[in-house]
Amino acid sequence: MSERLLVLVRHGQSEWNLKNLFTGWKDPDLTELGVKEAIAAGGKLKEQGLSFDIAFTSALTRAQHTLDLALKELGQSNIPIIRDQALNERDYGDLSGLNKDDARKKWGEEQVLIWRRSYDVPPPGGESLKDTLARTLPYYVQEILPCVLRGQRTLVAAHGNSLRALIMVLERLTPEQILKRELATGAPVVYRLNADATVASVKDLAG
């Protein structure tokens, strides 16, 4: 049986990360630094001697671009890539496109913090982390996990909050714990799974 390998990587810095804007389902591309982070992610995976059979990403450019650059660095641009909006970033609704400081002026620091850091309170017109989980997890269980359990080495390039949903399940974290979990841009997290889909080992390649 080949190894059950699952690697998660958050996209590199986007143009709106740089401008401190709420991004959500808006579609800016990577910055120059983001491109370097994506290439570096591929380099880190290469250093670990890892290769992949299949990849998944969101419907958003910044995640797709990150995946393409990482795979190119690995010399694996020809593997199947499945794109699906189930892996999109959390939808920030009315906050999307707003500078975070401007949002604080409009709604107050405390309210914006609740929207950003609570588990189940969505911003106006948007999704909470709980809503994002409800969208992302079924996709993981139905589409991604079966590939991993079949022994297909699987790479997922997505977003801070959609990846938090997967990490919450993989690492069996509580809502409080997952809110505190930070994911560096362009830093792969390498999981090896047991046959029952629990985690045998995890290695964070940040830094």
Which residue reads 């609740």 in tokens?
Answer: 114
CA 73 to chain CA centroid, Å, is: 19
Mean pLDDT of 1-9: 88
Residue 1's pLDDT band, with cuts at 50, 70 and 90, is: low
Are the CB atoms for 37 and 183 separated by under 8 Å? no
pTM of the model: 0.95
Report d(CA 25, CA 82) in Å as an integer: 18
Mean pLDDT of 84-104: 95
The burial class, CB within 10 Å (0-12 / 13-18 / 19+), for 9 is: buried
The residue among 126, 190, 185 whose CA lies nearest residue 153 is 190
Residue 117's pLDDT band, with cuts at 50, 70 and 90, is: confident
Answer yes or no: is pLDDT of 184 > 60.
Answer: yes
CATH 3.40.50.2300 corresponds to the domain 5-204:
no
Q: For residue 8, what are the contacts with CB-CB under 8 A and spacing of at least 6?
A: 156, 158, 163, 166, 167, 188, 189, 191
Q: Is 11 a catalytic residue?
A: yes
Q: What is the mean pLDDT of the chain?
A: 95
Number of helices and strands (H, E) in the chain?
Answer: 9, 6
Report d(CA 12, CA 171) in Å as an integer: 23
pLDDT tens digit sequence for 129-149: 999 999 999 999 999 999 999
Mean pLDDT of 182-187: 91
Report d(CA 154, CA 186) in Å as an integer: 16
Residue 97's pLDDT band, with cuts at 50, 70 and 90, is: very high
pLDDT of residue 179: 85
Answer yes or no: is pLDDT of 191 > 90.
Answer: yes
The residue among 46, 52, 53, 44 whose CA lies nearest residue 12 is 44
Q: Which of 11, 73, 127, 159 is an active site residue? A: 11
Q: For residue 170, what are the contacts with CB-CB under 8 A and spacing of at least 6?
A: 6, 191, 199, 202
pLDDT of residue 3: 87
Are the CB atoms for 61 and 29 separated by under 8 Å? yes
pLDDT of residue 53: 97
Q: Which of 73, 89, 127, 159 is an active site residue? A: 89
Mean pLDDT of 104-113: 94
Answer yes or no: is pLDDT of 2 > 90.
Answer: no
pLDDT of residue 181: 86
Q: Is 89 a catalytic residue?
A: yes
pLDDT of residue 28: 96
Q: Please provide residue 152's backbone torsions phi and psi, each rounded to the nearest 5 degrees.
A: -80, 125
pLDDT tens digit sequence for 48-76: 999 999 999 999 999 999 999 999 999 99
Answer yes or no: is pLDDT of 160 > 70.
Answer: yes
pLDDT of residue 207: 66
Cross-strand pairs, 134: none
